[in-house]
Amino acid sequence: MASAACAIQAGLEVIEVTFTLPSAARAIERLRHDHPAALIGAGTVRTVAELEDAAAAGAEFLVAPGLNSQLVEAARIRGLPILPGVFTASEVDEALRLGVEMLKLFPSEPLGPAYMSALLQPFPAARLVPTGGITAANAGAYLKAGAAAVAMGSSLFPGARIAADGPRVVAPLVAEALAAVR
């Protein structure tokens, strides 16, 4: 929670709170309250129950690790944008058939921007958001290769460093990442 607040204060406008954390719903609710200008979403949403908890907490978008048509439909009914995880052409094709155009490309590394660019060739309507290995050093290459946006996790929120030195370590990482994508 404190790390997310530091990231927002450093200029990050979008935060995804992962549902691998037991207090994810509470964190989403508090971040929405404390930082109304930021876009706060729920990540690693795998079940309809988690989707409902995220929606009740005020999540403004959802991110799933895989392509799950049940979650896509539940999100559509709720009016919540969802970025399902895809990796193969078959998954991208299925997601587009389900009406989802913004997709989480996961994992993005080790195959890199060239793989993402090749995946976009037969699917020009797909808007891919690579995650999983994205850093300030490679984010620009993904954007040049056609990414709609990039998502960074541990490169902005390094758990061991935060545990050792506190949430303040996040601010310079956010500043470096923002400089790299601008």
Catalytic residues: 16, 104
Running DSSP on this structure, what letter comes out for residue 167?
G
Contact 55, 74 (CB under 8 A): no
Running DSSP on this structure, what letter comes out for residue 135?
-
Q: Is 107 left (phi over 0), alpha (psi -120 to 50) or beta?
A: beta
β partners of residue 42: 17, 62
Return the H-helix or E-strand segment holding 169. none
